Chain A
Amino acid sequence: MSYESPLREPLVKGGKTYADVTRDILRPLEKNASKSWWIAFSVSALVLAMWIAATTWTMLEGIGAWGLNKTVGWAFDITNFVFWVGIGHAGTLISAVLLLFRQKWRMSINRSAEAMTIFAVICAASFILSHMGRPWVAYWPIPLPNAFGTLWVNFNSPLVWDVFAISTYFSVSLVFWYIGLIPDIATVRDRAQGIRKFIYNFFSMGWNGSTRTWHRYEMISLILAGISTPLVLSVHSIVSMDFATSLVPGWHTTIFPPYFVAGAIFSGFGMVLTLLVVGRVVLKQEDYITMGHLDAMCRIVMLTGTMVGLAYITEFFVAAYSGVEYEQYAFINRASGPYWWAYWIMMSCNLLAPQVFWTKWARSTPWFIFLMSIIVNIGMWFERFVIIVTSLHRDFIPSSWTMYTPTYIEFAILVGSFGLFFTLYFLFTKYLPTINMAEVKSILPTHSHDEHNDNQAAVQSANVEKGDTVHG
């Protein structure tokens, strides 16, 4: 059914049949958890415990447990929030934007990237809750008729927009992910026994694989992709407006929305690479997530990293050109003030480091890609730190200039949020298929089933020869 180019590397290697795909991808679900899974899961659960302890301490003690002061009222909390929301952008980008562009390489990575999106947004939401200091009144930004007279929320405030944006993004991503999961959950159901069959049957919602169902399924996937694409762009634009609509020097710029969206895609792909470079080896999925996939993602990292770098330089130009003294000082202070080290970590990790992906070697060496993905994540965390803290700590009135130093509690919450993220991610790899089997099966060449596996190699090499004679 699908044509396969004789020249290009196939998207799925190893001459897989449909049954091979099912067996390979369900292996982690159907056998007992490996020792390495237990170790990884236990470590993340321990880190999660630290997150719970530190967050609970903050709730009991109040925001005074953090290093905030009168001048710097937002620091680690909002840095972490923007960091996690940014990471949460790759999943929907891969599954929605690449679906609209008919990029078939997305099919092996979209499931885990979408899962990552959902878990990252959960982490981000936890920072919204904790930075309020009084999480029990977290429902106040929701426009509800309430007991304070008819006092509504301020619809002119970007913080209220953010509540709508993040909650829409989370719920639509979750629905999109779940719709994609249903056919695969049905596959697990039809192979399972006993209690597992009962559970997967419950969540498969009676999927039967009929052509009529598939027809509607394709339609709904396309429309969900169509509405998720502007959604993913709008969410980080709105997050950036939390800053851009204020008057604080360094925040008050019109470049913020596109710059934040590019940064979000950059950091999201960084995290996808971190997870998949390791995951493909541990889950034995090298035939599905091939070097070609890593190569394509490295190119996106390089492109978006360069876009972010361009934005950093444009900000300097705009500050210089504006003639506004405060704006100019904000940028001089970023690069050479007391937080200069944070600024230069950001510059080198986000603009300079990704340029190595111009070389083929960098894009085809897994350990190096892994290292780079960590560097990208560090750089993007520092970007948010630089934007937030350096703009606030020296604003209009020099008498209120001050420094911000995080406390142990804040570090514990930051590190702990990775525990929350990875605990959820490891549970996902154990209980749900990490690759969209139905989509991957649709891109397998049909001839591998005519000939069956033993003739597969011969067919492949015959194709390559044909290609060589035609094009050589």
Chain B
Amino acid sequence: MASKMMLGVYDNPDRVYTVTETLVKSGYDVHDVYTPFAVHNLDRVLGVKRSRLSIAAFFFAMTGLLSAVALQVYASYYDWQVNVGGKPSLHIPTYIPITFELAILFTAFGMVGCFFFVNRMFFGRNTDVIDIRVTDDRFVIAVNLNTDTDVKSLEQVFVSGGALEVRERIKDI
């Protein structure tokens, strides 16, 4: 789906923050803000909901933990007991290191997988970069232009906030 947007280009994160705050408060449909680094609190201003990655992390950790325990108990107790120096076959303390490592391994890979999935990131993806300079030193506020958007006053907000450039573009979303 292609949509029409108005872009305000800035060179200072403080200004981007103030302008975004003004735009959101005055009810404009702010699509997203593109920055070269994570600008603190900008996500809160935009109303981005707290990511549920941390909840996913917990479930991945539990999966890793349980799989490790299941593997070790099954292999060393139920399937084939090996007598090494008369030591017990079902010996919980010696399962701790592997259980711990697998919990971490599952958490890391599971979470990173989720992260790529929700961001729709994969190797070789061609993205429609909003402005090639946002990975260098520019900050871009993108506002969706709906039928009822007052373009004149939007431009006014952009410019009075210190925009270096204001322009329209079509973006695939």
Contacts and interface: CB of A to CB of B under 8 A. Distances in A.
Given A219-B51, A439-B37, A210 B32 contact: yes
Interface residues of A, number: 70
B114 to A, nearest CB: 9
B170 interface: no
A106 to B, nearest CB: 15
Interface stretch (A17-25, A55-63, A351-359): A17-25
Contacts of A208: 34, 127-130, 134
B109 to A, nearest CB: 7
A241 B163 CA distance: 60
Nearest to A223: B57
Contacts of A189: 135
Nearest to B45: A211
A224 B34 CA distance: 24
Interface stretch (A226-234, A277-285, A323-331, A367-375): A226-234
A143 B75 contact: yes
Interface in A129-179: 143, 149-158, 160-161, 164-165, 168, 171-172, 175-176, 179
A228 B101 CA distance: 10
A347 interface: no
A351 to B, nearest CB: 30
Contacts of B95: 155
Contact of A1 (B13, B82, B133, B135): B13
B104 A172 contact: yes
B64 to A, nearest CB: 10
Contacts of B75: 143, 152-153, 155
A379 interface: no
B135 A190 contact: yes
B104 A230 contact: yes
Contacts of B108: 171-172, 175-176, 224, 227
B123 A214 contact: no
Contacts of A70: none
Nearest to A205: B121
A391 to B, nearest CB: 20
A187 interface: yes
Nearest to B87: A156
> Chain A's interface: helix, strand, loop or mixed, by majority?
helix
Nearest to B77: A155
Contact-size category for B: 35 or more
Contact of B102 (A149, A164, A201): A164
A22 B112 CA distance: 26
B121 A154 contact: no
A153 B120 CA distance: 39
A156 to B, nearest CB: 5
A234 B98 CA distance: 10
Contact of B97 (A161, A172, A186, A449): A161
B3 to A, nearest CB: 14
A431 interface: no
Contacts, number: 201
Given A161-B97, A164-B98, A211-B32, A154 B82 contact: yes
A46 B12 CA distance: 48
B91 interface: yes
A142 B152 CA distance: 66
Interface in B82-96: 82, 84, 87, 91, 94-95
Interface in A204-242: 204-220, 223-224, 227-228, 230-231, 234, 238, 241
Nearest to B82: A154
A216 B87 contact: no
A220 B40 CA distance: 15
Given A212-B32, A214-B35, A164 B125 contact: no
A47 to B, nearest CB: 33
Contact of A238 (B12, B33, B97): B97
Interface of A: 1, 17-19, 22, 143, 149-158, 160-161, 164-165, 168, 171-172, 175-176, 179, 182-183, 186-187, 189-191, 201-220, 223-224, 227-228, 230-231, 234, 238, 241, 437-439, 441-442, 446, 449-450
15 contacts: A153-B75, A164-B101, A171-B105, A171-B109, A183-B36, A191-B136, A208-B130, A211-B46, A211-B48, A212-B46, A234-B100, A438-B36, A438-B37, A446-B12, A449-B11
Given A161-B101, A187-B135, 9 more contacts: A18-B36, A22-B137, A156-B76, A204-B127, A208-B130, A214-B35, A216-B118, A220-B115, A227-B108
Interface of B: 11-14, 17, 32-40, 42-43, 46, 48, 51, 53-54, 57, 61, 71-72, 75-76, 79-80, 82, 84, 87, 91, 94-95, 97-98, 100-102, 104-105, 107-109, 111-112, 115-116, 118-130, 132-137
The 10 A-B pairs at the shortest CB distance, nearest first, are namely: A206-B125, A18-B137, A206-B127, A152-B75, A205-B121, A215-B43, A161-B97, A214-B38, A187-B135, A442-B37
